[in-house]
Amino acid sequence: MAKRFSTKGVIVEMTGDEMTRVLWEMLKEKLIRPWADVNLETYDLGLENRDRTEDKVTVDSARATLKHGVAVKCATITPNSERVKEYKLKKEWKSPNATIRAMLDGTVFRSPIMTRNIKPSVPSWKKPIIVGRHAYGDVYKNTEYRVEGPGTAELVFTGRDGKETFRQPVQEFTGPGIIQGIHNLDSSITSFARACFEYALDRKVDLWFGAKDTISKTYDGRFKAVFETVYREEYRDKLARAGIQFVYSLIDDTVARIMRSEGGMLWACKNYDGDVMSDMVASVFGSLAMMTSVLVSPTGVMEFEAAHGTVQKHYARHMKGEPTSTNSMALIFAWSGALRKRGELDGTADAVAFADALEASAIATVESGSMTADLVRIADPTPERTCSSAEFIDAIARMLASRWG
Ligand code: NAP
Ligand code: MG
C-alpha cells in the first residue's frame, strides 16, 4: 500500500476553539502529517482571531470553501454575553456556522460512526441513519401572538403593488388562545432538495422524505411538490445510474418505517422534524462524540466537521493541567471526509484509500477496547481501562501505521 502521498487540490482548513483546538493539533501531528502532504489553505476561526478581524476571517473562509469545494472545520465558540466578558470581545459575533451556512446556502447532514461494541438502542438499526435538516423558516422564523380575549384572527397577503390578494379567517376566538404565522421560500426548499439529492448520490444511499401534505395541502404540499420536481427534472437519471431511490411518504409513515428499518438511508427532514429527530437518532447511536456533520451546498460543495462543540468543560480541566479523556472520533472523521472528497474530486486514489484506512483504523481501535470515557460508559464489553485524549489518538496512530505504513 502507498505510504506518503500529496493531495492535489486545496482543502480549506478552519481551526477553532478550546478542547477541540487542542485535539485538532494532536490529530494532525500524529495521524495526518506522518503520511500526507495536504494542500491546506488555513483560516484561524479561533474566537480571538474572529474578534481581531471583525469576523472577516469567517467570511473569507466561506468564500474559499466555495472556490475550492472542500473544507474541514474545527468546533468554534458561538459567543454569548459570558464569552464577550471572558474574551473581552468587541461585540457578540454571530455563530460562524450560521455565517458559513448562509454563504454556502447549505444543508447540514449528520451521521453516526458505528462500531461493533457500541450497540444502537434500536436493535434493528444496523447501518447509519443520516439526518438532513432544512435549516430555514417554519417555526424558527415565526410571528406569534398571545390572544387575550374574543376576536378574529385573519391571514392576509398584500402584493408589492399594494393589492390585497388573500384574506382568510384563521379563527374566530371566543376566549384566550394563541396564533402563529410561519413561512418558507421556494428558493430555500429547492436548495434543500438539491443538497439532499447531491449528498444521497455522494454517499450512495436512498433518500427518504416525509411531510404532512394530506393535512397541510398548500404548505407541506409545496415541500412535496418541490422535491418531486427537483427529482424529476434534475436527479431521476443520476439516481437510477447510482442504483438508489427517492422515497416520499407521509411523515408519520416515514417515522414508523425508519424505526423498523435497518438504517442506511438519508432522511431529509423539515426544520422542526430535523431538530427533534436528529437528537433522537444521535442518542440511539450512543454519543455526540460519534456524530459527524457535513454542510452541503446545492452545488455539492462540502464542509466537514464534528457535530459536537468545543467541549468547554474538558478544556477547563486541560488548562488546570488535569488529564482529559475527550473523544476525537468525529474530528478525525471530519478530516477523513474532507480527504476522501478531495481525492474524489481530484481523481487521486491514494487520498481516498488513506481516508478509508484512517476511518477503519479509528473504528478498529475502539473495537479493540481502546476508547475514551464517553464510550467506556456505553461499550459492551466494558473495557478494562479508559484512554486519555492523547492515548486514544496514539492508539489510532499505531493502528494506522500497521495498516498504512
Ligand atoms: P459540547 O462542546 O458539545 O459539549 C457538551 C458535553 O458533551 C461535554 O461537556 C461532554 O460531556 C460531551 N461531549 C461533547 N463532545 C465530546 C467529545 N468529543 N468527547 C467527550 N465528550 C464530549 O457543547 P457545550 O459545552 O455546550 O458547548 C461548548 C461550546 O461549543 C460553546 O461555546 C458553543 O457555542 C460551541 N458549539 C460549537 C459547535 C460547532 O462549532 N459546530 C457546536 C455546538 C456548540 P461531559 O462533560 O459529560 O463529559
Ligand atoms: Mg435539537
Q: What is the DSSP annotation of 87-118?
A: TT-SS-PPPHHHHHHHHHT-EEEEEE---TTS
Identify the pLDDT of residue 1.
53
Residue 261 dihedral angles phi and psi, to the nearest 5°: -80, 175
Specify the residue with its C-alpha closest to ligand 1, atom 5.
311
Closest ligand to the CA of 315: 1
Distance of CA 385 to the CA centre of its chain: 31
DSSP letter assigned to residue 175: S
Q: Angle at CA 177, nearest 5°, toward 175 and 182?
A: 140
Q: Check: CB of residue 303 under 8 Å from CB of residue 76.
A: no
> CB 9: neighbour CB atoms within 10 A?
15
Cis peptide preceding 112, ω within 30 of 0:
no
Residue 84 CA, ligand 1 centroid: distance in Å: 18
3-class secondary structure, 148? coil
Q: What is the chain's pLDDT, residue by residue, as a tens digit (405 residues)?
A: 558 999 999 999 999 999 999 999 999 999 999 999 999 999 999 999 999 999 999 999 999 999 999 999 999 999 999 999 999 999 999 999 989 988 998 899 999 999 999 999 999 999 999 999 998 899 988 999 999 999 999 999 999 999 999 999 999 999 999 999 999 999 999 999 999 999 999 999 999 999 999 999 999 999 999 999 999 999 999 999 999 999 999 999 999 999 999 999 999 999 999 988 988 998 898 888 999 999 999 999 999 999 999 999 999 999 999 999 999 999 999 999 999 999 999 999 999 999 999 999 999 999 999 999 999 999 999 999 999 999 999 999 999 999 998
The verdict on the CB of residue 312 being under 6 Å from ligand 1 is yes
CB 399 within 8 A of CB 365: yes
Closest C-alpha residue for ligand 1 atom 6: 311
What pLDDT, on the 0 to 100 scale, is given for residue 2?
A: 56
- Strands (E) across 128-280 are located at 130-133, 143-147, 151-158, 164-173, 177-181, 206-211, 246-250, 265-269
**307 CA distance to ligand 1 middle (Å):** 9
How many other CB atoms are found less than 10 A from the CB of residue 139? 12
Q: What single letter denotes the amino acid at residue 190? A: T
173 CA from centroid of ligand 1 (Å): 44
> Do the bridges between strand 302-306 and strand 70-73 make them parallel or antiparallel, or are there none, so unpaired?
parallel
Residue among 18, 311, 366, 387 whose CB has most ligand 1 atoms within 8 A, to mutate: 311
Pocket test for ligand 1, best of 48, 94, 283, 288 (most atoms within 8 A of CB): 288
Contact 291, 333 (CB under 8 A): no
CA torsion through residues 191, 195, 201, 207, sign: negative
- 293 Cα nearest atom in ligand 1: 41
Number of residues assigned to the chain: 405
Query: Is residue 309 lining ligand 1, measured as CB closer than 6 Å?
Result: yes
Q: Looking at ligand 1, which residue's alpha carbon is closest to its atom 8?
A: 311
Q: Ligand 2: distance of its center to the CA of 105 in Å?
A: 20
| The three three-digit cell numbers of residue 102, written as one number | 448562509
CB of 89 closer than 8 Å to CB of 83: yes
Cell numbers that stand for 200 in this block: 444521497
| Nearest ligand to the CA atom of 371 | 1
Predicted confidence at residue 3, as pLDDT, reads 82
Q: How many helices (H) and strands (E) does the chain have?
A: 15, 16
pLDDT score, position 140:
87
Residue 331 CA: which ligand 1 atom is closest? 18
Q: What are the E-state strand segments in 242-341?
A: 246-250, 265-269, 291-296, 302-306
What is the residue with the minimal CA distance to atom 31 of ligand 1?
77
Whole-angstrom CA distances from 147 to 154, 167, 237, 316, 405 are 13, 19, 51, 46, 68
Of ligand 1's listed atoms, the one at least distance from the Cα of 329 is: 18
Confidence (pLDDT) at 5: 94
Q: Whole-angstrom Cα distance, residue 71 to residue 10?
A: 9
> Whose CA is closest to atom 1 on ligand 1?
309
Distance, CA 82 to ligand 1 centroid (Å)? 16
Q: How far away, in angstroms, is 33 Cα from ligand 2 center?
A: 36
Measure the CA–CA gap between 41 and 334, rounded to whole angstroms.
16
Cα separation of 96 and 98, whole Å? 5
- Nearby residues of 40 by Cβ (< 8 Å), 6 or more positions away: 10, 11, 12, 13
